[in-house]
């Protein structure tokens, strides 16, 4: 009996291994549009796919970012300036893409653009602090997707949305975790709707990697700004020691983040080039061994873990 089960597991593993390594044909003829290519995952993915011979259409927020990317890639790669919070910018970028892909359609759409601040204790923030993050990470992503969808459908292509482990487990307040939960929900509904048209949707859930989103300097500056703008009552309740502990933990974040961004971009590339892409990709050992398993635990256990390991306000019960 046990021998039969071992053989069955072995055969299943071999089948999965074989399926995962089947690659789509004629990659050099396929166009991929990537948002947020100024730096981080988007920048690395654009260079990675360009080296593989694909036709990369890279959207950058700034002309400086676009120029630096062009200097590091082949003549195949083209750039466009895109602000995902502005409808007119999305419409213009969609028309730009349409002119390039023609009747072939758009094989891959990678929604990578994102910001992480303002983030912090919810009580320190105003509605606009939440809205500014949601506008980029969720609403901007949705509008880009809806605008590009006819081109992706024409190619029976792929949509790859960048979520996070905080789309599974909410680790802190503000709009970032909310936006990533939204990315998960939107991607799930989109995948089911588009399955009838041969379009596949994949979600990438990275752990903590060293990018602009996790920059200690940027996050510390954000927390200090939130602290300075909040009310005297809130500052009294939380206390200076809480602020100091918060800033100390953020200052140590750079050391804890994985510096190898290719762990994530390899998942993104697989989602675009594999015949049988996964629905979800967990990138990084912290995601695989801690955050994703944590998301399946009963809520009261997860709450207890955070209660006993996190810093406490000065006037907590």
Residue 315 CB neighbour total at 10 angstroms:
10
Beta carbons of 287 and 176 less than 8 angstroms apart? no
Instruction: Give yes or no for a contact between 89 and 83, defined as CB atoms under 8 angstroms apart.
Output: yes
Given the residues 176, 242, 246, 281, select the one marked as catalytic.
176
- Give DSSP secondary structure letters for the chain: -HHHHHHHHHHHHHHHHHHHT-B-S-GGG-EEEES--SSHHHHHHHHHHHHTT-EEEEEESSHHHHHHHHHTS-TT-EEEE--TT-HHHHHHHHHHHHHHHGGG--SEEEE------SBS-GGG--HHHHHHHHIIIIIIHHHHHHHHHHHHHHHT-EEEEE--GGGTS--SSBHHHHHHHHHHHHHHHHHHHHGGGT-EEEEEEE--B-SGGG-HHHHHHHHHHHHHHS-HHHHHHH-HHHHHHHHHHHHTHHHHSB--THHHHHHHHHHHHBSS--SEEEESHHIIIIIHHHHTS-HHHHHHHHHHHS---TT--
Tokens 């605008």 belong to which residue? Answer: 147
Active site residue 307: no
Question: Looking at the annotation, which residues are catalytic?
Answer: 176
């Amino acid at each position: 009996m046990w021998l039969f089960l071992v053989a069955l597991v072995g055969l299943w593993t071999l089948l999965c291994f074989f399926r995962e390594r089947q690659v789509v044909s004629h990659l050099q003829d396929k166009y991929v549009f990537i948002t947020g290519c100024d730096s981080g995952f988007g920048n690395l993915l654009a260079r990675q796919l360009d080296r593989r011979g694909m036709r990369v259409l890279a959207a950058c927020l700034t002309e400086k970012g676009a120029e630096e990317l062009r200097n590091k890639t082949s003549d195949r790669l083209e750039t466009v300036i895109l602000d995902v919070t502005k409808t007119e910018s999305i419409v213009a970028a969609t028309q730009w893409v349409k002119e390039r892909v023609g009747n072939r359609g758009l094989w891959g759409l990678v929604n990578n653009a994102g910001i992480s601040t303002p983030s912090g204790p919810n009580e320190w923030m105003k509605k606009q602090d939440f809205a500014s993050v949601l506008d980029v990470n969720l609403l901007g992503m949705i509008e880009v997707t809806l605008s590009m969808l006819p081109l992706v459908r024409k190619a029976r292509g792929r949509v790859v949305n960048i979520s996070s482990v905080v789309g599974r487990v909410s680790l802190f307040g503000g709009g970032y975790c909310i936006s990533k939960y939204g990315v998960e929900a939107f991607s799930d509904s989109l995948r089911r709707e588009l399955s009838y048209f041969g379009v596949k949707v994949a979600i990438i859930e990275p752990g903590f990697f060293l990018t602009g989103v996790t920059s200690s300097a940027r996050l510390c500056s954000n927390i200090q700004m939130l602290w300075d703008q909040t009310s005297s009552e809130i500052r009294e309740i939380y206390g200076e020691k809480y602020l100091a502990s918060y800033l100390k933990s953020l200052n140590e974040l750079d050391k804890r983040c994985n510096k190898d961004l290719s762990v994530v971009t390899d998942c993104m590339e697989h989602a675009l080039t594999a015949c049988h892409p996964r629905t979800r990709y967990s990138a990084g050992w912290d995601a695989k061994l801690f955050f994703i398993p944590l998301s399946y635990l009963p809520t009261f256990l997860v709450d207890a873990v955070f209660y006993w390991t996190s810093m406490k306000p000065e006037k907590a019960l």
